Structure 1
Amino acid sequence: MHGFRKNYPVASEITPESVWQSRRQWLRAAVSAPALLAAGAASAKAAPDTEPFGPKLAATPSQRWSTDETVNRWSDITTYNNFYEFGTGKGDPAENAGRMQLTPWAVQVDGAVRKPLTLDIDALRHLAPMEERIYRLRCVEAWSMVIPWIGYSLSHLLKKAEPTEEARYVVFTTVLQPDVMPGVRQGILNWPYTEGLRMDEAMHPLTLLTFGVYGRELPAQNGAPMRVIIPWKYGFKSAKSLVRIHLQSTPPLTAWMQAAPQEYGFYANVNPAVPHPRWSQETERRIGSGFFASRIPTQPFNGYASEVASLYKGMDLRRNF
């Protein structure tokens, strides 16, 4: 497993233009090449390398939770996305999400809590000190990225609401704006999009309530203005553009469980020994590495086993997938 970084530069210093312009210029064509379709994923449109842009978001680099792996380019992070409300193509969110209405924005925390909350985005950003954490994130389509996220542990927000003894599960609901979300007219999922975690998963310090990436506020296609990141699980668990966080006693039936229960279970822990019904999970391709780069072995719990495996002691992770 790759080690966690103890000292590293802030996001704006990770991949300066002078470095990746020369080192990765040839990769731009590879990322969008038709050959990537054969790897099991539709390619995003080729985008020129750009410096990160958008409002800056201050954060303290996390010494504990960051991997030392090479961070993806800004153009990788912002043009190759899953956000089905805006279309199923990897480039659709970058093309369509800019029309999403981001102000005003409020998030409701309710259900099995003693103090229900409704907070606007400014209050949420100031609820706890922001950290920058470099997480690896893997998608079920067997591709992965390494991304410098900004936020704080979700537990800070949940504790403010004072969960009751009945709070065993957390349900996340994504905003629904049908007029600007062409994907919702396709009937792929039951909208609005919902995801869920067990309470101990949600309270784990790795679970990040996320407001930024690469030193900037989240772009719309990356789940602005607020999303959740759970780095040891497949990427579909990381619900975007949150408007509600609901605590309850019973397991939720989440969006992908309703749409394809044979493929997407509740736990979604990265387990390379369990193949997806349509492809192997044993290896992955790092986005931006080029089609001809060697695939890398997929790690249990996406490389975070030392931190989270104890949460699932005694569970059959083939049956509870």
Structure 2
Amino acid sequence: MLIKVPKTSAAKENQITDESVYHRRRDIIKSMGFVGASSLLSSTSAQASFFGNDDKPFKTQALDYAPDAKQVSTKLTPEEKIITHNNFYEFGTGKSDPVENAQQFKVNPWRLSVEGLAENPFSLDYDDLFKQFPLEERIYRLRCVEAWSMVVPWIGFSLAALIKKAKPLSSAKYVAFETLYDPKQMPGQKNRFAGGGIDYPYVEGLRIDEAVHPLTLLSVGLYGKTLPPQNGAPIRLVVPWKYGFKSIKSITRIRLTDKRPPTSWNRLAPNEYGFYANVNPSVDHPRWSQASERRISGASLFSRNRIDTQMFNGYEEVAPLYDGMNLRKNF
């Protein structure tokens, strides 16, 4: 099912950056007949050419999906920026550490368990991630709490569809998420110093009404292909109205619960990172302003391409979720 995102969440032309090859490449792939999750097209990931990792580079694969019909001509943050400028502390705390350290990451076999307060707990293996639910493209703005942003053509399926399959009990009020814990593959998990002080595995959570909102996505790809490891392969969360750290990567466990789950950054620094983490330009981080953001484009990462930050990252349709809440106190 293709969920049409309302106009309020559409990326505007003056808010996004240029990418000239994406739609042409997708058309070429489809014209060659390489469509369908059962007949994936292997391709060397772009980061291999950037870092000379030509020995055994991570392979991404072409995906079959429903394009974002409302935004097929939208300009995007270039793919090379999206896959080389990352926060994924399991692979290092520098922006280029994940792409440099994650290329031997193994995503198959994979097991994602869905459990907790549900009538139908189940699990998905690697192939299930691409076959259990129809895949669709969602072009979303991504706003980092560090005050930089991107526009990303994610591919995935609605988290609501997965939760519906689990048949949550009426007592389920929250959804808890957990990243893979594998220090042998993820050097940042070997000790807290290497991984930015986080107590691993990385955990996150949403209220169940946030989780089933039509905008909330489980992503298995971007730019027409499976996710690179530095972007959260094989499956990650995308909640576009929240700061990026809420969009947990490389998920192995989703649990329905009646208690608000702990979240990694809130646990590490509760005065700086709240449970909700809704994008709010009027609530500054204790160490910097959130009123504007640096949109990463095809120019230098340090270009002065600043724009004003929008409430809920511009996705005003989620505002009813927080009616009556003090959004300064519940940050």
TM-score relative to the length of structure 2 = 0.81
Alpha-carbon offset, residue 3 of structure 1? 6.2
Which of the numbers 245, 254, 257 marks the counterpart of 1:248? Answer: 257
- Are 1:269 and 2:285 counterparts? no
Q: 1:223 is matched with which residue?
A: 232
Matches within 5 A, 1:49-68: 54-63=60-69, 66=71
Aligned residues with identical type, % of pairs: 53
- Are 1:112 and 2:117 counterparts? yes
Per-residue deviation, residues 92-117 of structure 1 (Å, max 9, x unmatched) = 10011122221110100000101110
Preserved CA contact (<8 Å) 1:173 1:243: yes
Q: Which runs of 5+ in 1 are unaligned?
A: 17-43
The aligned amino acid for 1:287 is: I
Preserved CA contact (<8 Å) 1:232 1:302: yes
- Are 1:4 and 2:10 counterparts? yes
Matches within 5 A, 1:236-315: 236-288=245-297, 289-290=299-300, 291-305=302-316, 307-315=317-325
Preserved CA contact (<8 Å) 1:174 1:192: yes
Alpha-carbon offset, residue 179 of structure 1? 1.0
Q: 1:232 is matched with which residue?
A: 241
- Are 1:153 and 2:162 counterparts? no
Per-residue deviation, residues 146-191 of structure 1 (Å, max 9, x unmatched) = 0000001111111111000111000110001101211113411111
Alpha-carbon offset, residue 70 of structure 1? 2.7
- Are 1:207 and 2:238 counterparts? no
Q: 1:28 is matched with which residue?
A: none
CA distance in structure 2 between the aligned counterparts of 1:223 and 1:75, rounded to whole angstroms: 15
Alignment root-mean-square deviation, CA:
2.4
Q: 2:43 is matched with which residue?
A: none
CA distance in structure 1 between the aligned counterparts of 2:20 and 2:198, rounded to whole angstroms: 35
Per-residue deviation, residues 214-237 of structure 1 (Å, max 9, x unmatched) = 000000100000111000000000
Matches within 5 A, 1:157-168: 157-168=162-173
CA distance in structure 2 between the aligned counterparts of 1:191 and 1:184, rounded to whole angstroms: 6
The aligned amino acid for 2:186 is: M
Preserved CA contact (<8 Å) 1:15 1:73: no
CA distance in structure 1 between the aligned counterparts of 2:133 and 2:60, rounded to whole angstroms: 22
CA distance in structure 1 between the aligned counterparts of 2:72 and 2:208, rounded to whole angstroms: 25
Q: 1:39 is matched with which residue?
A: none
Alpha-carbon offset, residue 68 of structure 1? 7.0
The aligned amino acid for 2:138 is: R
Instruction: Tell me the SS of whatever aligns to 2:103.
Output: helix
The aligned amino acid for 1:247 is: L
Matches within 5 A, 1:72-87: 72-87=77-92
Alpha-carbon offset, residue 4 of structure 1? 2.4
Which of the numbers 81, 86, 95 marks the counterpart of 1:90? Answer: 95
Q: Which runs of 5+ in 2 are unaligned?
A: 1-6, 13-18, 26-46, 52-58
Q: 1:318 is matched with which residue?
A: 328
Instruction: Tell me the SS of whatever aligns to 2:294.
Output: strand
C-alpha distance 254-67 of structure 1, shift in aligned 2 (>3 A):
farther
Which of the numbers 94, 112, 131 marks the counterpart of 2:136? Answer: 131
Preserved CA contact (<8 Å) 1:11 1:214: no
Alpha-carbon offset, residue 279 of structure 1? 0.6
C-alpha distance 292-106 of structure 1, shift in aligned 2 (>3 A):
closer
Instruction: Tell me the SS of whatever aligns to 2:60.
Output: coil
C-alpha distance 123-68 of structure 1, shift in aligned 2 (>3 A):
same
The aligned amino acid for 2:108 is: T
Which of the numbers 170, 195, 199 marks the counterpart of 1:190? Answer: 199
Per-residue deviation, residues 253-294 of structure 1 (Å, max 9, x unmatched) = 111111010111000000000000111000000112443434
